[in-house]
Amino acid sequence: MNDDTLCRMPAWEFADLIRRRKISPVEVAKAVLARIEHLNGRLNAFINLYPELTLAEAHDCERAVMAGEPLGLLHGVPVSLKDNYWTRGLRTTFGSKLMADFVPSEDAPSVNRLKRAGAVNIGKTNVPEFAWRGSTDNPLFGPTRNPWNKDRTSGGSSGGAAAAVAAGMGPLALSGDGAGSTRIPASFCGVVGLKPTRGRVALYPSAAANELLLQAGPIARTVRDAALMLSAMSGPDRRDPLCLPIEGEDFARNIDQGVRGLRIAWSPTAGFMPVESETRDIAERAARTFEELGAIVEDASPTIDDPQWILDLSFGANAAGQHSRRPDAEKQQMDPALVAYAEAIGTTSLSDLVKAVIGRQAVVRRLSDFFERYDLLLAPTVGLPAFPVGIVGPTEVAGQKVGHLGWSSTYVFNWSGQPAMSVPAGWTKDGLPVGLQIVGRQLDDALVIAAGAAFEAARPWADRWPALDDLAR
């Protein structure tokens, strides 16, 4: 089997063929490393690679297979790790010059569980500094580019992860989502990004003021791969007092159950997001596919007043608390836009922060009421396709001014803790991907996954690849 065929193979097939001794974990690792060497110089998705360690892990996996030892869900499968997850003995920089030499003494819970599942670590992927924005660029490593158009962003903050998967530089990526950081880059790069129910995957260390909002999750090419990775990662950890005491769930068990009879809401705005017309049309055509699959699809939107001010105060408070009072010498080494954002929010009063918490709780109540009537909500993940590299984000969408991350529909579902997945809805006339967000009730991760799988079966995307030969030039 040639390297190109291997690198286009989904993770679940890797796992199956390795288990049946049809392919070697070492063969797989070498193919992926060769593809990274071929393409990464143009995309800058990976910022730390350690091929000797990767191959050593692959050899260990091969020995376990040949010895007939018990094998984990992801045994021998290559997985990349976002560069804000602690990795014992391996540099973890958060995309910051201030953390350029930081080497953790322990693994994050998700990293540990991936190891226990037999995954092979292929490297760390790029992030914006301290994962603060929806485009991936930082003073330490520079920008990650979109495989579909190198002049466009890959999104953020998991932009390196999404670009790697979209380009076939590994089938799975560990991501994280505090306001859309998994779903935004998945939408921009034409892959699957899943934010699970809050607490499904244990987190450590905590994300400061964002500890109630951030969730670890998978980025993958297929919904089944995302389900497999979530099954491997989910479960409690003593270091995270907020994680769910649920372990051993198989999120692919009922993946083929379909959506027949479900009551599904389609909203072109998710209740608050401005959307460009082409993006809206692509997402709506995708949503109408669910009618063909037997679901009842109704035009309906949650009642959400403009939540931008809540986002600025709640998400921004985390940036302000960590960075607004840093010494000037440190600020001069940081992303200037992050420093400006932190300093602007840093003058906020405590009473305003409390108002933001109350406002966030009101949005969560409205979402709860909405999901009493609907099993799922469909909406465009982002209000536009990937924007140019070099900017933090757009300031206007569809003639409407937007603030930080105000061009996405993602962040309110971090507030409510609901499972939400972005799947490829289609491509623009310029060849840029558009994502459809599928949102479910809390703990209904399996239903969100089944809905994504039903849509993928009806409108498959995994065989559509960017012009990878052009990337190598």
Active site residues: 82, 157, 181
Cis peptide before 157 (omega within 30 of 0): yes
The whole-angstrom separation of Cα 85 and Cα 79 is 13
Give the DSSP per-residue string, 298-313: EE--------HHHHHH
DSSP state of 235: B
CA torsion 35→177→206→235, rounded to 10°?
Answer: -80
N residues, the chain: 473
Residues 6+ apart with CB under 8 A from 446: 249, 251, 253, 254, 255
Which stretches within 117-222 are classed as H helix?
Answer: 159-166, 183-189
Give phi and psi for 20, each to the nearest 5: -90, 10
Q: How far apart are CA 321 and CA 207, in angstroms?
A: 12
CB 157 within 8 A of CB 134: yes
Alpha helices, H only, 89-196: 109-116, 159-166, 183-189
CA–CA distance, 438 with 452 (Å, rounded to integer): 7
Number of Cβ within a 10 Å radius of residue 148: 26
* Long-range contacts (CB closer than 8 Å, 24 or more residues apart) made by 312-315: 312/345, 312/403, 312/404, 313/345, 313/348, 313/352, 313/353, 313/355, 313/356, 314/209, 314/213, 314/353, 314/356, 314/357, 314/360, 314/415, 315/178, 315/179, 315/210, 315/213, 315/404, 315/405, 315/411
Please choose, from the candidates 80, 63, 81, the residue with its C-alpha nearest in 3D space to the C-alpha of residue 18.
63
Residues 6+ apart with CB under 8 A from 257: 450
Closest CA to 405 of 78, 183, 168: 183
